[in-house]
Amino acid sequence: MLHRTLIASLLGLALLGCGQQNPRTKVSAALTDGVLLPAYASWQETDRQLAVNAEAFCAGNADLGTARQAFLGAQSAWAGLQPLLVGPLAEGNRAWQIQFWPDKKNLVQRQVEALLKSKPQLSNDDLAKASVVVQGLTAYEYILFDPALDLTQAEQKVRYCPLLQAIGQHQQALAAQIISEWQGKPGMAEQLKAFPNERYADANEAIADLLRVQVTALDGLKKKLGAPMGRQSKGIPQPYQAEAWRSAASLANLGAALANAELLWHGSNRDGIQTLLGDDQADLANRIDAAYQDTRHRLAALDKPLGDLLADEAGRAALNELYDSLNRLHRLQESELAKALDVQIGFNAHDGD
C-alpha cells in the first residue's frame, strides 16, 4: 500500500513538473530556436556564398567588388556569432580557423606570402595542414583588401586565387560541420532544450553558459575597440590593431556583435534572459535596456571608419564615449545581472590581454 502511494506521489510530482516548465528551461529553449539556430544558419549561408563567390571570381564570372561584398557578409555573420559562442564552435580552437586576431606582428601577411611561395598551386589539403593564421577570414581579407595587393591585375589574381578558393571551401566545410553538431542527435540544440544531458546537468547551467558567453563577448568588443584606440599603449592610437582595418569594417562588426548580444538579452519574442528577472528587479532590467540603447546610438552616430576617427581629436573623443558606454553595458551584466541570476562568471578568454 505504502509502495503504491509513493509511486502515485512521484507520478503526481512528475506531471506537475511537465505542466509547469522551469523558466530557465523555457528561456534556454526559446533562445535556441529564436536566436542561436537562426544566427548559425545565417553564418553557414554566408560561408556557402563566400565559397561560391571565390570560384566565380577566380573564373572571371564575378568582379572584385562582388568578391568583397561576399567577404563582408561572411565577416559580419561571424561577428554576430561572438555573443553566441556556446558549444562546438567554442571548442577545439575552431574559432581561430575563422579569424586570427589580434595580429600584433602582421603574421597574416607573412604567413600567406610564405605559404604561396612554397605552395604556388595550393590545394585544399595543403590549407588544412597549414596554420590557422592562413585558414580564415583574416587571410581572405588581406588578399582582397590589402593596399599593396591588386587582384584586378591578372598576375596577382592567378597567384592568390588558389588560396581564396581554398579558404572559401574550408570555411564552408567548417560551417557545415558546426551546423551538423548543432542539429544532430544528440546535438547542441537538443542539449540546450532537454535536461539533464552530457553537457548540462540542468537549465541553470545552460543559462549560466549563455550569460557567460554574452559577457565574454562584450568584454571582447571592448578589447577590439580599445586596442586600436591605444587603451593598452598609453593612449597612442594603434589603427593596425583593429580587427578589420583592411576592409574598414571594424565598427560594422562591433554593431553585428552588439545586435546579437542584445537579442540574447531580449529574445526574438521577448523571451530572452531578461524574462528571468523578477518584478523586484525591474530597475536592473531597465538600466540594461538603457545601456544597450546608449551604446547602439553612439555607434550609429559614428559616420566614418574607425581608422579615420582615430586620426582626429573629435573622432577619438567620440570613440572614447563609445568605449565608456560599452564598458558600462559590460559591467552591468558581468556584475549585477550575473549576481541577480546567481551565475558565477569566472575566467574568460580575454582575461589578461
How do residues 156-200 score in pLDDT, each as one tens digit?
999 999 999 999 999 999 999 999 999 999 999 999 999 999 999
Nearest Cα residue to 168 out of 144, 140, 141:
140
**Residues constituting the chain:** 353
DSSP 335: I
Burial of 11 (0-12, 13-18, 19+ CB in 10 A): exposed
305's CB contacts (< 8 A; 6+ apart) are: 248, 250, 251
Give exposure, 127-164, as e/b (b: 16+ Cβ within 10 Å).
beebbbbbbbbbbbbbbbbeeebebeeeeebebbbbbb
| C-alpha torsion sign, points 199, 22, 337, 252 | positive
Quick: pLDDT tens for 62-112.
Answer: 999 999 999 999 999 999 999 999 999 999 989 999 999 999 999 999 999
Is residue 8 pLDDT above 70, yes or no?
no
**Distance separating alpha carbons of residues 315 and 305, to the nearest angstrom:** 10
Domain ranges of the chain: 23-191, 203-340
Q: In terms of Cα–Cα distance, which of 103, 139, 336, 127 is closest to 239?
A: 103
Cα 329 versus chain centre, distance: 17
| Whole-number Cα distances in Å, 245 to 68, 71, 170, 198, 242 | 14, 14, 23, 41, 5
Task: Output the pTM of the full model.
Answer: 0.92
Instruction: For residue 330, give the nearest of 317, 316, 345, 315 by alpha carbon.
Output: 345
Q: Which residues contact 320 (CB under 8 A, 6 or more apart)?
A: 229
For 68, half-sphere exposure in the C-beta direction (CA atoms, 13 angstrom radius) is 16
Q: What is the SS3 assignment for 259-293?
A: HHHHHHHHCCCCCCHHHHCCHHHHHHHHHHHHHHH
Give mean pLDDT, residues 25-38.
98
Q: What class has domain 23-191? A: mainly alpha
What dihedral angle (degrees, nearest 10) is formed by the CA atoms of 259, 245, 100, 173? Answer: 70
For the segment 43-71, the average pLDDT, to the nearest whole number, is: 98
- DSSP one-letter code for 91: S
103-152 pLDDT, tens per residue?
Answer: 999 999 999 999 999 999 999 999 999 999 999 999 999 999 999 999 99
Which amino acid is present at 118? S
Q: Which set of grid coordinates corresponds to residue 88? A: 562546438
